Amino acid sequence: MCCGRASRHGCTATILPAISACLRAFSAAQRLRRRSVMKTSHIIGALLVLASAAGCAREAAPTAPRMAANTATGNVDGRIAFSSDRNYADGGGREIYSMNVDGTDVVRLTNNPAVDWFPAWSPDGTQIAFESDRAGRPGIYRMNADGTDVVQLTDDGRKPAWCGDQIAFTRSVGGLAIYVMNADGSDLRRISDDTTSVQSPSWSPTCEQIAFEGPGGDIYTMNADGSGVFRVTSGINNGANQFPSWSPTGEQIAFTSYRDANAEIYVINVDGTGEQRLTNDGEGGWAIPNDERPSWSHDGMQIAFQTDRD
């Protein structure tokens, strides 16, 4: 999760009973909020724990979830990768860390005065792709899960997303566009057209489609070759919808929406139906808490997100 100055610490784990139809079936009184021991800096990490839509009454398993997306990402061992500038006062930049899902065993993976963030685990959990400006401008890098063997893959790129042996990312050459390359940096190709500005890719679980931020403050999907563009959200009078995260079932997309002046987490079916709001921290001003950049667990039971709530 992206974190700010080290003047504030804490983490909230929010337990929600379900998603989709189950959200309507449970009252607000059945929601349980609990405090976690996870500590980050300034931005508070949070988890939405979601019951299966196929079995609304089932409780989430107590085992560590496997997170996957761009805010906080996790590997097969249940570790979460996140970014923090907690060492800013000591001359450090924004660095990549990993930790257990309960916030223990925090390990610093990068050590560079540059900005290192947006970590994305490889499917087997042995490597991490991330964005860094250590070469003077934002580019995509890759390293082992322990922080060794850092390799620069591109000299321009932001917000990587890893699926199979491919990495999708945003590139700002001739406007913001989505590119795909092999995990070793080869076979770089642009998949979005040159008429619109798009960013923040998120792979479908089959690696056949990509969700992204597009024109009009909306979330779109397209095939991995750039064809079949489909608008999922309707941004009319709804403000900006950003940071899509495709569910592991392939049926839903979580995203951030600023339609109520602050940022909240929503989920929607990939066909644009069944939109549901998952967080509710008030409305009407930028001073209230903001919940953004959701990231699904691999079992679809949890969503990690970035928040500045107390």
Angle CA 64–69–70, to nearest 5: 120
Q: Token pair of 3, please?
A: 């974190």
The answer on pLDDT for 96 being more than 70 is yes
Q: How many CB atoms lie within 10 A of CB 182?
A: 14
pLDDT digits (tens, 9 = 90+) for 199-211: 999 999 999 999 9
Average pLDDT over residues 57-72: 35
Q: What is the mean predicted confidence (pLDDT) over 272-280?
A: 94
pTM of this structure = 0.78
Q: Which residues pair with 158 in a beta bridge?
A: 170
Task: Tell me the DSSP string of 74-115.
Answer: E-TT-EEEEEE-TTGGGT--SEEEEEETTS-S-EE----SS-
pLDDT in tens, 102-151: 889 999 999 988 999 999 989 898 999 999 999 999 999 999 999 999 99
Q: Return the higher-pLDDT residue of 78 and 104.
A: 104
Query: What angle is formed at CA 293 by the lines to CA 52 and CA 61, rounded to 5 degrees?
Result: 25
Contact (Cβ atoms closer than 8 angstroms) between residue 66 and residue 78: yes
Residues in the chain: 310
User: CA 290 to CA 278: how far, in whole Å?
Assistant: 13
Write phi, then psi, for 33 (nearest 5 degrees).
-110, 140
Given a cut of 70, is residue 302 above it in pLDDT? yes
Write the DSSP assignment of 136-205 as a string of letters.
Answer: SS-EEEEEETTS-S-EE--SS-EEEEEETTEEEEEE-TTSSEEEEEETTS-S-EE-S-SSS--EEEEE-T
Domains parsed from the chain with CATH numbers: 9-307 (2.120.10.30)
For 16-50, how does the pLDDT look when each residue is reduced to its tens digit (9 = 90+)?
322 332 333 222 322 323 223 233 333 334 455 55
Q: What are 162-174's pLDDT values in tens digits?
A: 999 999 999 987 7
